[in-house]
């Protein structure tokens, strides 16, 4: 049953990746052709909205998060293949443990992020995104179901903190944290200053994830761990997605440069500066415990007097 459910949950995570990419493609095409407002820095003539900094910010956030989701899914897919096919039994077991830990992140984080990306796509279209003519609203509706089926994202988060993080007394997750932290060395020794920017953002992010993980592993109150589940999953996915973008950027820097490879590096820099700082902000939510969730009695949840 769980073998089947893991495959289904991974597939829903991939659905989030696919919808995000389609929403981005649609928003990008629209931004290239929609002429509105003036280029204040370039002579004041009317220009396509893709020339406007705020629209460019939205498009880059869609692109960066979409590529981070895709990179995460590819890594986990490779681990699943190795777990199924490699002749080395120990290697299969290690990759299976990694895949088991990461599948709730692929499903949960990718589908939540997909909603954000699809919503941003509507915003790029403006009022046209809200009506049916462009198709942007359809992407948002398609995205909205993905956190619900094959196990709601609340269930994914609970699975992560109650079953997956404690696997092998935390050895699996700690090994993963060490692997991500090790990216700091190649990022720090690269001559291109863009990699130093990535390292500066990754260091506090991985520190926040490590602190959150150790807090969970030492927490004895199940309600406190359950209260931390959703913010922890978001923290985990944000860091993992950023780390894999940085691995892509390092690989891109080792090849003969072209515009596509340069974009991989610059997209990772954008993620480092604009998306990854969210990770540290999640740490207080993880460690807050369950008390404040129940501080207001059930009767006090009513808003009408």
Position 44 pLDDT exceeds 80 = no
Average pLDDT over residues 149-178: 96
Show the beta-strand stretches assigned E in 156-224. Answer: none
**197-256 confidence digits (pLDDT tens):** 999 999 999 999 999 999 999 999 999 999 999 999 999 999 999 999 999 999 999 877
Average pLDDT over residues 262-278: 97
**46-89 confidence digits (pLDDT tens):** 899 999 999 999 999 999 999 999 999 999 999 999 999 999 99
Catalytic position from the list 112, 116, 150, 262: 150
Q: Please tell me the predicted confidence (pLDDT) of residue 55.
A: 96
Q: Please tell me the predicted confidence (pLDDT) of residue 2.
A: 65
The two structure tokens encoding residue 47: 């220009």
The proportion of the chain whose per-residue pLDDT surpasses 70, expressed as a percent, equals 98
User: Is 150 among the residues known to form the active site?
Assistant: yes
Residue 123 Cα distances to 55, 126, 127, 212, 240, angstroms: 9, 5, 8, 33, 27
Q: Is the pTM of this model over 0.85?
A: yes
The two structure tokens encoding residue 232: 């922890």
From the list 213, 219, 212, 229, the residue with the least C-alpha distance to 293 is: 229
């Amino acid at each position: 049953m769980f073998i089947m459910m893991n495959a289904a949950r991974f597939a829903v995570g991939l659905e989030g990746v696919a919808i995000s990419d389609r929403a981005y493609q649609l928003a990008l095409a629209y931004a290239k052709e929609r002429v509105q407002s003036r280029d204040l820095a370039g002579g004041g003539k009317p220009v396509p909205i893709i020339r406007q900094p705020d629209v460019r910010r939205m498009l880059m956030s869609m692109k960066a998060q979409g590529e981070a989701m895709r990179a995460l899914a590819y890594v986990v897919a490779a681990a699943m293949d190795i777990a199924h096919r490699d002749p080395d039994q120990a290697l299969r077991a290690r990759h299976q443990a990694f895949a088991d830990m990461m599948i709730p992140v692929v499903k949960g984080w990718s589908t939540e992020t997909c909603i954000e990306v699809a919503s941003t796509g509507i915003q790029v279209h403006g009022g046209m995104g809200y009506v049916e003519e462009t198709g942007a609203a359809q992407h948002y509706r398609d995205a909205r179901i993905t956190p619900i089926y094959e196990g709601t994202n609340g269930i994914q988060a609970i699975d992560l903190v109650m079953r997956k993080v404690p696997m092998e007394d935390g050895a699996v997750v700690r090994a993963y944290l060490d692997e991500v932290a090790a990216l700091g060395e190649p990022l720090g020794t690269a001559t291109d200053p863009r990699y130093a920017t990535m390292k500066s953002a990754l260091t506090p992010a991985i520190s926040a994830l490590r602190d959150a993980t150790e807090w969970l592993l030492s927490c004895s109150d199940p309600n406190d761990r359950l209260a931390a589940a959703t913010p922890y999953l978001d923290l985990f996915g944000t860091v993992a997605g950023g780390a894999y973008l940085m691995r892509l950027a390092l690989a891109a820097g080792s090849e003969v440069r072209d515009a596509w490879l340069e974009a991989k590096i610059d997209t990772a820099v954008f993620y480092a500066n604009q998306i990854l700082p969210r990770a540290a902000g999640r740490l207080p939510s993880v460690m807050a415990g369950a008390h404040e969730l129940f501080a207001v009695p059930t009767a006090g949840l009513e808003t009408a007097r």
